[in-house]
Structure 1
Amino acid sequence: MNEQIHSGIQKLSAAIGQKSAFSLRLQKYGVLIAFILICVGISIMSPNFLTVTNLLIVVRQITINAMLAFGVTFVIISGGIDLSMGSVVAVAGVVAASFAHPGSYPLIVPLFAGLAVGVLIGAFNGFVITKGNVPPFIVTLGTMTIGRGLALIFSGGRPISNLSDSFGYIGGGELFGIPFPIVILGIIFVLCLVLLKKTVLGRYIYAVGGNEEAARASGINVKKIKIIVYTLCGGLSALGGIILASRISTGQPNVGVAFELDAIAAVVIGGTSLSGGIGTMTGTLIGALLIGVIGNGLDLMNVSSYYQQVVMGSIIIGAVLLDSIRRRNLSS
């Protein structure tokens, strides 16, 4: 009798273990599976979807969002949030464009100026959050408004045009037939992936987001890590702003509105936990691609932009619900 009970317990434990393993695999690869299924579904409904031209259009369209999403992935994994990214896009684009007139400065000057603005805003966010012990939501909400104001002040409220051909190449050129923004995106993705997965800094970011007190007790300089992740986010947002200004051939002070929401949506859809400590750059890239593919597919099927907003909002809510379920499973 005891042997039968013992055997039954073993079988039950094995079944539970298999279910848990399947659940973990589903959580890990769920976004990728969803992405593949959606691509297949759209390609069936619209034969033009899987053409090389259209796929390049999709990737090029998500370049800015993915750039911002990579930056805020560092922030969210560390347990923070950044709402100032859209404003950084605007002010960095305006500053870069003001130094990019034909015959004025070498290309390195507008690039450096635009990136410097983003880095400074990001560092300011991190400094106030850590030194002032102010919630990230409040600080970055404030810098979102400050950044937008700076963009309007610097540009006088008007677009800055007449940009050089070399600056225009950043967002409109090609390298071996591949749009240059996609090349930049690929390079930034690899760098962010290596930084997060293969470096001590990456491990510290996960540690801070997973348990800040434990990370501090382990000797990690938590404040320094937070300043670094916000600085990275600001720099990548500025790079996105430079690419956008180059693509549209003007520095527009009003661009970037709600860009931060799209970036955060890509990160959450990609499996990064809003509670911190969990997330990958690969997941973020897939999340950004998923948003781009759905938007492109709906355009190809002539679905109204109003309905597209409803679809995107539903996807974001679904991703947050999945994140909540995943955290409950991990804690149980």
Structure 2
Amino acid sequence: MTVVARVVKSAPLLIPLIVVVAALAVAAPQFVSGQNIQNIFFAASIIVIPGLAMTLCITMGEFDLSVGSTVALTGAVTCTAIVNGTPTAFAVGLGLIVGAVVGLVNGLIITKLGVTPFIATLATLVIIRGAALAYTEGRDVIVNDAVLKYLAAGRPLGIPLPILLAIVAICVMFWVTYYTRFGRWVAAIGSNRDAAGLSGLPVDRIRITVYVLLGIAGAIWGILISAQLQKGSGQLGVGFELDAITIVVIGGTSLLGGRAAILGTVLGALLIETIRNGLNLLNVPPAYQRISIGLLLVAALAIQAIRRKVPLEALDEKK
């Protein structure tokens, strides 16, 4: 196997990312400026944290549609607590707890009530969004807090804090997914949930844990967005769940479960934010940007479908 073939197999998005970067560098010369490249990494770092948690969920053969609503609710709760005089650290902790509770509720509905993940998280998407709007009474909660702002604008070691958080999250998720018993259990459930249960794995407990982790990741997403905007709002996070799912799927994690692609998720976040950034520089309207992301998702799903069919067709030819 050649070096190029190995790279394509281990990181299939690397070549498309290079092609997109090269094309945008020609179409928009300002794209390759140091500040703009940093902006791309900054945006990708914020989306990759929930994307990593979504990778675990999809590896398990499930997904969560309520992440975008969790972003809104946790951001609103955190900012409201700060406005009401709660120390920022406690307000952030409260937001994380809210995210964990949302994940716990999702996990319990799915495992104990037997509701499918699509229906359960679609319902909680609506409920949590409504709760966020009711909590803020439909208004933006404006804050002017230096500590909260530091979460988005701080630069320890000269590196934006969200990028450092993303690096830590990526390293931890690599370790958890590929080198721990928990990661192997998640993949086993995605491959065959019934067989995993028969082999003695605590299937329901693992599924609930993954949803709690996803809720916390959504809360981090919401807090970072609110820190960047210096406001909480029930309108934040609309469509964010599709972004999180898209970076996972285009990164190569199978929707059928059983196989995770952590590096693919990271490259997926970089690819989406590179495209989004380049289209902004080219003054492409936001509606067409959404269309481009949707087309990426369709292409990724088509590629997965083709990969599933090819082995079967090969077997048929042998027969």
Same fold (TM over 0.5): yes
**1:64 and 2:60 matched:** no
Report the equivalent of 1:43.
Answer: 25
Gaps of 5+ in 2: none
**Whole-Å separation in 1 of the counterparts to 2:237 and 2:45:** 13
Preserved CA contact (<8 Å) 1:27 1:326: no
Q: 1:94 aligns with which of 51, 64, 76?
A: 76
Report the equivalent of 1:233.
Answer: 214
SS at match of 1:128: helix
Preserved CA contact (<8 Å) 1:97 1:163: no
Q: 1:190 aligns with which of 171, 187, 208?
A: 171
SS at match of 2:11: helix
**Whole-Å separation in 2 of the counterparts to 1:244 and 1:57:** 14
**Whole-Å separation in 2 of the counterparts to 1:225 and 1:212:** 11
Q: Return the offset for 1:144.
A: 0.5
SS at match of 1:325: helix
Q: Residues 1-332 of structure 1 correspond to what in structure 2 (within 5 A)?
A: 26-101=8-83, 104-329=85-310
Q: Return the offset for 1:22.
A: 9.2
**Whole-Å separation in 2 of the counterparts to 1:237 and 1:305:** 23
Cα 1:122–1:330 shift into 2, 3 Å: farther
**Whole-Å separation in 2 of the counterparts to 1:249 and 1:29:** 36
Q: Which has the larger radius of gyration?
A: 1
SS at match of 1:278: coil
**Whole-Å separation in 2 of the counterparts to 1:99 and 1:212:** 41
User: What's the % identity of the aligned pairs?
Assistant: 35
Preserved CA contact (<8 Å) 1:89 1:241: yes
**Whole-Å separation in 2 of the counterparts to 1:147 and 1:190:** 31
**Whole-Å separation in 2 of the counterparts to 1:154 and 1:303:** 35
**Whole-Å separation in 2 of the counterparts to 1:22 and 1:62:** 25
Preserved CA contact (<8 Å) 1:73 1:279: yes
Report the equivalent of 1:12.
Answer: none
**Whole-Å separation in 2 of the counterparts to 1:295 and 1:261:** 15
Q: Return the offset for 1:65.
A: 2.2
Q: Return the offset for 1:49.
A: 1.8
Q: Return the offset for 1:24.
A: 8.1
**Whole-Å separation in 2 of the counterparts to 1:49 and 1:39:** 8
**Whole-Å separation in 2 of the counterparts to 1:60 and 1:195:** 24
Q: Return the offset for 1:53.
A: 0.5
Amino acid at match of 2:21: C
**Whole-Å separation in 2 of the counterparts to 1:330 and 1:296:** 38
Cα 1:254–1:216 shift into 2, 3 Å: same
**What TM-score comes out, normalization by structure 2 length?**
0.92
Preserved CA contact (<8 Å) 2:11 2:263: no
**Whole-Å separation in 2 of the counterparts to 1:176 and 1:23:** 37
